Structure 1
């Protein structure tokens, strides 16, 4: 996003070395990586095939945050994590997220929070 040129590469290399030294004290099975992404299932496409200008539609901001985690050697994958706005989504049809094979949390904006991350 235009900031890559201002990165101090010496500092980056120093941090990489520091992190490698810390991680050397742990087995790969004990090192986990977590990442999250947002899914906007109701959002209209960004592009279209129309050749003429058409009236716009306000973008739907309904979102689901998805979290994925596994350990460094791939021997353990944590259950998918979904964060939505609804406390009891109808799509669960009375079943628990655990019974469906994933973890589910909810909050007003469907965002990852420190409390959710720590659980």
Structure 2
């Protein structure tokens, strides 16, 4: 699990179970922590520019995850009857080869989907 912070406040976690290696993007279901309440409104209403939240990601060892940006995209107000609310964490611009080291399953899925010619 990766920890998502807004400044120094832990706002949630994500396994970052999906991604696009060609763009250095890892994303996944966001699981809110107590600190999420302070940024929830911004994450629901502003998907375009969350730079003011100073979002960052850290590995399970607590090390910063180098990237260009982190976003929390809260779609919970768009949940349809009977479906659970969905909130996604996205980490953008993770440099290679670190991406391949952290997310080998993303690399394998990408290679299977887009085989070399």
With the length of structure 2 as denominator, give the TM-score of the two structures: 0.24
Q: Tell which structure's C-alpha radius of gyration is larger.
A: 1
With the length of structure 1 as denominator, give the TM-score of the two structures: 0.24
**Higher RCO structure (Cα 8 Å, ≥6 apart):** 2
